[in-house]
């Protein structure tokens, strides 16, 4: 059983995978992404993944057979396991609990290679495929929130070697955790403090200032805006923000799903064309499960605003970034926005 | 002039390098470490770096000529510049200031290649070389603290491509910043809260529990202990802690410098032998400059404890880590410690 352990000084939880994949000897050779000869995510290989949790199957095909458009399966090497109790406990001055959670893989499309022999990705999708994927995120988030052990559900994607991807068939992931992760808690606290001071949502204020200035907007439609954030951590970092104030991704409407899909296609086409198909991560930040709780995030409905963070992985993080949480970004967000805005796709 | 910009939600400062090295077109090809034909840090090339700030020269050689053992020069491509005023200011809801600071390179030794044709590193150093380097860190920290614009001085090292190094001649770096960086502030706050509750230093308590349990100790001498932290973020993360409570690295005694040098040689020999010469970062965390200030860290003399964090870069960070600040570590620290402890060097 994996363990969740809490840093006694700064309160950061980490997952220690005691059924580890990596023993010391595994590090004696550099770890590289496998260019897999066999793809467990391709149609026809449904029996090579754990049994599916959910799939969009427009025909009447049976689970774990071909005929799906999006397919969700448990991660074969999960960081956290679904079975068991949390058993929060101490060990001297340290805090720990069992590594309970969910770790799912969203196989985004049956297609793996595009016409040029490259890997398919968001840039190649039809609007319908992208809407399907967003709908799948929503369905899984709503379902996992029913499990009272989980406090947070994070949807994310690692694309390309530099972003930590290990399989090239297009997929995203989802992890449900029994604690609100540190980085999310910081956002929640920051939003709450701002609300206490201003009685306004800080994210809504950012949207207003960005629209007024116009300098960091990459794209906008009826429901969403994409900006290069004022204090971007790394070159071409982007945020997709819904114009309608809402703390929760999972109450997104059908019309909004279509408009989010549209804007994601635009953004990933631009990133791919302008930056030569870069590795990237994206993370969907939404409100935690089961709020408000007494004393915690009482005003979350008003102060928090869900969004997607996109981080192209163009520069490596060194000791300065690790040691300080203080990033050096060699590309001003104003230039990143201007460059991406002006690209024809 | 670079700018320091503050994230309006979580308060993280980033450096936006407006005299940027990277334009969008620079990202169209993957960035690789150059295997430099010409090394600006090798003896004889002293005129290829900016003029030196400090050097250990046992003979009577002149500055910017050969004959040095350790040499400190300004970074040729600094993230922050030494000249100018901070000019803290707002821009609508955003906070910013000029990118003022110091960015220095500590060239650790004149040697570049070892007998096998590999790059020299800490594992190859004599005790005297390592003591010289530690002394240089101390001298530069004491000197930079005199500049009242700087609130923090971070010594760090990036070794190897995966750690963000771009030159292979052995060197470490130092950055002085006009704000206390987020990650350090978190440690300071955590230490303070613990002290308020227990009236003891959290780091001293960790040392006591680790000595009592023995399970995560890699090495120990008269003045220092090396542990694999209970909540390690990544495989083989290590902390070097002084046994004597002290918030400040720069009051380290001559005897302690020798014992720190000794333990660093042991640790880096073990890491190199056991993990096949891995890329790594290390960061020296010490108290900020000019404390205590009213309302800030009043008890810092008692609650904070300087230390060195070592992070071998064996696994890539993906979207989950970026999105949550929640790390997945596949190697339990108890196993990492046992493995390194048992290695003969």
Q: Where do the domains of chain B lie?
A: 3-24+33-177, 191-342
Q: Mean pLDDT, to the nearest integer, of B4-13?
A: 89
pLDDT at A108 over 60: yes
Cα-only R_g, chain B: 20
Of the spans A105-119, B35-49, B75-89, B173-187, which averages the highest pLDDT?
A105-119
Fold of B3-24+33-177: HIT family, subunit A (3.30.428)
Please give the share of chain B, as a percent, with pLDDT higher than 90.
70
What pLDDT was estimated at residue B36? 59
pLDDT at B339 over 80: yes
Closest alpha carbon within chain B to A179: B326
What pLDDT was estimated at residue B29? 43
List phi, psi (to 5°) of B144: -70, -25
pLDDT at A324 over 70: no
Q: Mean pLDDT, to the nearest integer, of A10-33?
A: 64
Mutate to test the interface with B, among A231, A235, A282 (most CBs of B within 10 A): A231
What pLDDT was estimated at residue B274? 94
Answer yes or no: do A28 and B276 touch at CB < 8 A: yes
* Residue B11 Ramachandran class (φ > 0 left, ψ -120 to 50 alpha, else beta): left
| Predicted confidence band of residue B276 (pLDDT cuts 50, 70, 90) | very high
Least confident of A163-167, A242-246, A298-302, B32-36: B32-36
CA–chain centroid gap for A286, Å, is: 10
pLDDT at B318 over 80: no
At A220-276, the pLDDT tens digits run 999 999 999 999 988 999 999 999 999 999 999 999 999 999 999 999 999 999 999
Total H helices, total E strands in chain A: 7, 15
Asked if domains B3-24+33-177 and B191-342 share a fold, the reply is yes
Chain B residues in contact with A235 (beta carbon < 8 A): 22, 27
Longest alpha-carbon distance in chain B: 60
Answer yes or no: do A278 and B27 touch at CB < 8 A: yes
What pLDDT was estimated at residue B32? 45
Q: Where are the alpha helices (DSSP H) in chain B?
A: 127-144, 182-198, 202-213, 254-274, 300-303, 319-324, 333-342
Report the run of H or E that residue A258 belongs to, with start and end: helix A254-274
Which of the 8 DSSP states describes residue A317? -
What pLDDT was estimated at residue B324? 67
Q: Would you name the residues of A annotated as active-site residues? A: 171
> And the tokens for A207?
């949207």
Pairing of strands B13-16, A327-329: parallel
Least confident of A241-245, A259-263, B13-17, B124-128: B13-17
pLDDT at B200 over 60: yes
**For domain B191-342, which architecture applies?**
2-Layer Sandwich (3.30)
Q: Mean pLDDT, to the nearest integer, of B77-86?
A: 86
Closest alpha carbon within chain B to A27: B275
More confident residue, B218 or A297: B218
Complex ipTM? 0.86
Task: For residue B11, give the nearest of A190, A311, A316 by CB distance.
Answer: A190
Pairing of strands B327-329, A13-16: parallel
CA distance B60 to chain A (A): 34
pLDDT at B262 over 50: yes
Q: Mean pLDDT, to the nearest integer, of B280-301?
A: 82
* Gap between the Cα atoms of A132 and A150, Å rounded: 25
* Residue range A3-23+32-177, CATH number: 3.30.428.10
Mean pLDDT of chain B: 90
Answer yes or no: do B332 and A79 touch at CB < 8 A: no
List phi, psi (to 5°) of B251: -100, 15
pLDDT at A125 over 60: yes
Closest alpha carbon within chain A to B165: A318
What pLDDT was estimated at residue B320? 62
pLDDT at A197 over 70: yes
Question: How many CB atoms sit inside 10 A of residue A35's CB?
Answer: 7
Question: How many CB atoms sit inside 10 A of residue B73's CB?
Answer: 22
Answer yes or no: do B281 and A319 touch at CB < 8 A: yes
What pLDDT was estimated at residue A128? 98
Answer yes or no: do A326 and B29 touch at CB < 8 A: no
* Residue range A183-342, CATH number: 3.30.428.10
Is omega for the bond preceding B292 within 30 degrees of 0, making it cis?
yes
pLDDT at B12 over 50: yes
CA distance B305 to chain A (A): 11
Closest alpha carbon within chain A to B30: A314
pLDDT at A326 over 90: no
Rounding to the nearest 10 degrees, give the CA dihedral for residues A291, A296, A300, A302: 130
* Gap between the Cα atoms of A329 and A338, Å rounded: 16
Question: In a 3-state reduction of DSSP, which class is residue B307?
Answer: strand
Least confident of A31-40, A185-194, A209-218: A31-40
What pLDDT was estimated at residue A294? 61
> And the tokens for B298?
């009043």
Kindly list the distances between the CA atom of residue A188 and the CA atoms of A6, A70, A306, A308, in Å, as whole numbers in the listed order.
19, 31, 11, 15
At A23-69, the pLDDT tens digits run 555 554 444 445 557 899 999 999 999 999 999 999 989 999 999 99
CA distance A342 to chain B (A): 12
Q: Annotated catalytic residue: which of B103, B171, B285, B305?
A: B171
- The beta strand positions in chain B, using DSSP E, are 3-6, 13-16, 54-56, 70-74, 89-91, 94-98, 102-107, 152-159, 171-177, 217-220, 224-227, 238-242, 280-285, 307-312, 327-329
- Long-range contacts: B339-345, Cβ < 8 Å, 24+? B339/A24, B339/B274, B340/B218, B340/B219, B340/B228, B340/B236, B340/B238, B340/B267, B340/B270, B340/B271, B340/B274, B341/B217, B341/B218, B341/B219, B343/B270, B343/B273, B343/B274, B345/B266, B345/B269, B345/B270, B345/B273
Strands ordered across the beta sheet of B70-74: B54-56, B70-74, B102-107, B171-177, B152-159, B280-285, B307-312, B238-242, B224-227, B217-220
């Amino acid at each position: 059983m994996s363990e969740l352990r809490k840093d006694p000084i700064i309160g950061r939880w980490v997952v220690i995978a005691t059924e580890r994949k990596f023993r010391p000897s595994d590090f004696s050779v550099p770890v590289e992404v496998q260019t897999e000869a066999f793809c467990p995510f391709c149609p026809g290989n449904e029996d090579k993944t754990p049994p599916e949790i959910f799939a969009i199957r427009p025909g009447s095909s049976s689970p774990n057979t071909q005929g799906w458009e999006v397919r969700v399966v448990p991660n074969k090497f999960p960081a956290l396991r679904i079975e068991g109790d949390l058993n929060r406990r101490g060990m001297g001055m340290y805090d720990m609990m069992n590594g309970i959670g969910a770790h799912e893989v969203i196989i985004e499309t049956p297609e793996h290679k595009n016409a040029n022999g490259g890997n398919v990705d968001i840039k190649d999708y039809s609007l319908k495929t992208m809407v399907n994927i967003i709908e799948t995120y929503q369905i899984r988030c709503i379902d996992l929130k029913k499990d009272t052990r989980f406090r947070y559900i994070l949807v994310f994607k690692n694309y390309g070697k530099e972003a930590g991807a290990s399989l090239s068939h297009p997929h995203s992931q989802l992890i449900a955790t029994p604690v609100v992760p540190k980085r999310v808690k910081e956002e929640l606290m920051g939003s709450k403090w701002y609300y206490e001071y201003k009685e306004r949502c800080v994210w809504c204020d950012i949207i207003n200032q960005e629209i007024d200035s116009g300098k960091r907007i990459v794209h906008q439609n009826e429901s969403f805006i994409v900006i290069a954030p004022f204090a971007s951590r790394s070159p071409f970092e982007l945020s997709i923000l819904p114009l309608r104030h809402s703390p929760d991704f999972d109450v997104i409407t059908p019309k909004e799903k279509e408009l989010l899909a549209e804007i994601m296609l635009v953004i990933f086409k631009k990133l791919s064309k302008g930056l030569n198909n870069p590795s990237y991560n994206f993370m969907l930040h939404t409100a935690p499960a089961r709020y408000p709780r007494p004393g915690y995030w009482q005003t979350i409905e008003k102060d928090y605003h869900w969004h997607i963070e996109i981080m192209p992985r163009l520069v490596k993080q060194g000791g300065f970034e690790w040691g300080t949480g203080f990033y050096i970004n060699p590309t001003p967000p104003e230039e990143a926005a201007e460059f991406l805005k002006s690209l024809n796709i």
